[in-house]
Every structure is written in structure tokens, then in C-alpha cells.
Amino acid sequence: MFGSKTPPSRSELVTEADLARSKGRLNKAILGYKKALELEPKDAVVLGKLAPLLARVKQPEAALESFRAAAQVHLDKGFADKALAVYAQAAELFPLELDLWRQVSQLHVVKGHRAEAVKTLLRGRLHFRRGAERPGAILLLRETLALDATLFEVKLDLALLLARQKQRDEALAVLEPLPAEAKSRRHMRRLRWTQAQVTPGVGTFTSWLRALLLGR
């Protein structure tokens, strides 16, 4: 019809949304990115731009959905590095989303970067501090040790959390081989202190004092 206005193209919508975002007009930017996604639902770049904005306007479920969709599109196209970057950004914004830390770690493993995978899991573990969050912390520590079984302090952390979760037998099983693995006086002091926490008593307290004073 005469006088009808041509609807904006996808690129025009994205450009306008980018401008709105740069000016702090988050809701307008979100609307623009959503309209662009109606034209190209699997645009990983736009999904990645939309996700943090949704987080900023307190729409966590939608933000996570957008992050995960963006990462999956990158993976489907074989862009593991880009997917990793998306998951890493999501994990920093939503640190109690356990699967995000695990996804980042798994992608590091796929790339052959086991040390980075370990660092990721341990960074994630730091966010799981409350009692209700212990199962998540335990899972991250178990996966850390599956990648590197030599981490003495991680084993102590795991044993203590297991004990606090009323899983004392498992905690003791983790601690049992550690005297032979202790490589320093500090290790031995930390081990004896953890044993005293897991099985409180005169014997374990005395062992901790001996380690504190004599280093053994």
C-alpha cells in the first residue's frame, strides 16, 4: 500500500539496540535485540548481547536462557572458544548456577587446558559457602580431584564439607591416605586440624597440638 513503511532490517534493529545500550537505555535495547532475534533466532552475537542486559534488569531466567542459547549456537558451529567465553561471562553473573562452572571447566578440558579447568572449578567452589550450597561445593571439589588428584588442600576442603553434610565415613576415607601425602609442616598442621574437626576428641585434638608445635 502507498505510504506503508518498510520495517527495519535485522542489522538496523541491532544497530539501534546497540546505540540504546550505549546510552544506558536498557529496556529499549532489549526490545531491539528481541525484535532482531525474531528475524534470526539463532544469532549467537545478539543472544550474547541480550543476556547480560536481561540480567541487569532482574530477569535472571531469561538471561540464563539467552546465555545458554548463545553458547549452544557457537558449539553447533564448532566455535568452542566463543561458547567458553559466553559460559564464563554467565558464570560470573550467576555464580550459584552450578552447571555454568562445570560447562566452562568441561570446555577447557576439551581444549586440553586441564589446569584452567581446575582453576575454574575452584573459583566456582568459592561461591558455594552456605549450608544449603554444600552439595554444589562438594560436586565441584570432586570434579576438581578427578582432574588433579594431587591437590592436598582440596582434599581437606572436601573432607570437611562431607563431615558437615553428615557423611563422616566418606570424609574419613578422603583423609586416610593424607598423612603419607603431606609434603610440609603446614600440610600436616592443616591435616590434623581437619581431622579434629571431622572427629572431635582428645586424641585428634592432641594430634593437632603436636602438629602445631612440632610439625608432625
| pLDDT means over runs of 10, the chain (216 residues) | 70 94 96 96 97 97 98 96 97 98 97 97 97 97 98 98 96 96 91 90 59 60
Other CB atoms within 10 Å distance of the CB of residue 31 = 15
pLDDT at 1: 46
Task: Find, among 178, 154, 158, the residue nearest to 168 by Cα.
Answer: 158
Task: Find, among 142, 198, 200, 141, the residue nearest to 172 by Cα.
Answer: 198
Using CA atoms, how far apart are residues 141 and 148, in angstroms rounded to an integer? Answer: 10
Q: Give me the phi and psi of 127, to 5 degrees please.
A: -85, -15
Helical pair 134-147 and 114-125, crossing angle rounded to 10 deg: 160
Check the CA dihedral 38-43-49-55 and report its sign. positive
- Cell of residue 168, nine digits: 563422616
Superfamily in which the 7-94 domain is placed by CATH: Tetratricopeptide repeat domain (1.25.40.10)
Using CA atoms, how far apart are residues 69 and 175, in angstroms rounded to an integer? Answer: 41
pLDDT at 8: 86
